[in-house]
Amino acid sequence: MKDTIFYPNLTLNVKGILREFTKPVVMGILNTTPDSFYAQSRIASVDDVLQKATEMIADGAEILDIGGYSSRPGATAISVEEELGRTTEVIRAVKTAFPEILISIDTFRSEVALAAVLAGADIINDISGGMADPKIFEVAGKYKCPYILMHMRGTPQTMMHQTDYTNLMEEVEIYFRNQLQKAKGFGIKEVILDLGFGFSKNSDQNYLLLKNLAQFHSLNCPILVGISRKSMIYKPLSLTAEDSLNGTTVLNTVALLNGAQILRVHDVKPAVEAVKLVGFLNGVSG
């Protein structure tokens, strides 16, 4: 069991400062969008964001992921200016209030990534893996930001029409190898992989990836899993996103058992508890 639960410590070089975590990390989701798929995650004002950030940090979040562009299937596209307006002020406020917390900017646009980093963001979380705007690699490389590289086909508007694969596991791995090579060519030293659960994948494909998550450790990058309250959980159970916390915790536990090192979640406390309990299985307490 010691060889299969919990992979090596997560180490991130953030803007030249080494941050090491001895157990998997929980990333709290802060959506500054009016149309995210989980209604209760939508936050309208800076004050509300700060209140939610305070709660998440108290519950054990090590990273806060701030996004102003809804990536749910079929979401309405917004302008760069609108996305900037939803994110930069919020990032600046959170970083001022909590200077030690790591902040990731959830965007696929280089302009937004740059503004976010200058406002205080530490990590770039790109759902397109550099496919939508390759200049985002330049930003991550120049400012020495860890980069989260996700697998997706198409855009949030078209991705669910692109779920045909000849060999899903092989094609996702090839995609990662190609994009990793490009990212490293821009000087990006820290890359985290996100398999993109729910992005250009149907339910069966999501479960196949989760079951075989450990296969992607051959790429020698930390793995982030973001399945919180997604349809792969609530649709098979005939529930809604609002009713899927228990299912989320179950699948986050499976992800941890398969070596996930970051859990991206709406509900921080249950995820932190899952990390602790899976840690006890491997003789890691605290």
Q: List the catalytic residue out of 95, 109, 153, 264.
A: 264
Active site (annotated) includes residue 269? no
Q: Which residues contact 266 (CB under 8 A, 6 or more apart)?
A: 28, 29, 38, 40, 41, 228, 229, 248
Active site (annotated) includes residue 42? no
Q: How far is CA 245 from CA 34, 116, 270, 281, in A?
A: 21, 30, 9, 22
Instruction: Look at residues 167, 179, 166, 110 and name the one whose alpha carbon lies nearest to residue 143.
Output: 110
Instruction: Look at residues 234, 130, 216 and name the one whose alpha carbon lies nearest to residue 168.
Output: 216
Cα separation, 163 vs 281, in Å, equals 36
Q: List the catalytic residue out of 23, 230, 235, 276.
A: 230
Cα separation, 137 vs 164, in Å, equals 28
Do residues 10 and 222 touch, judged by C-beta distance below 8 A? yes
Pairing of strands 123-126, 25-31: unpaired
> Which residues are marked as active site?
230, 264
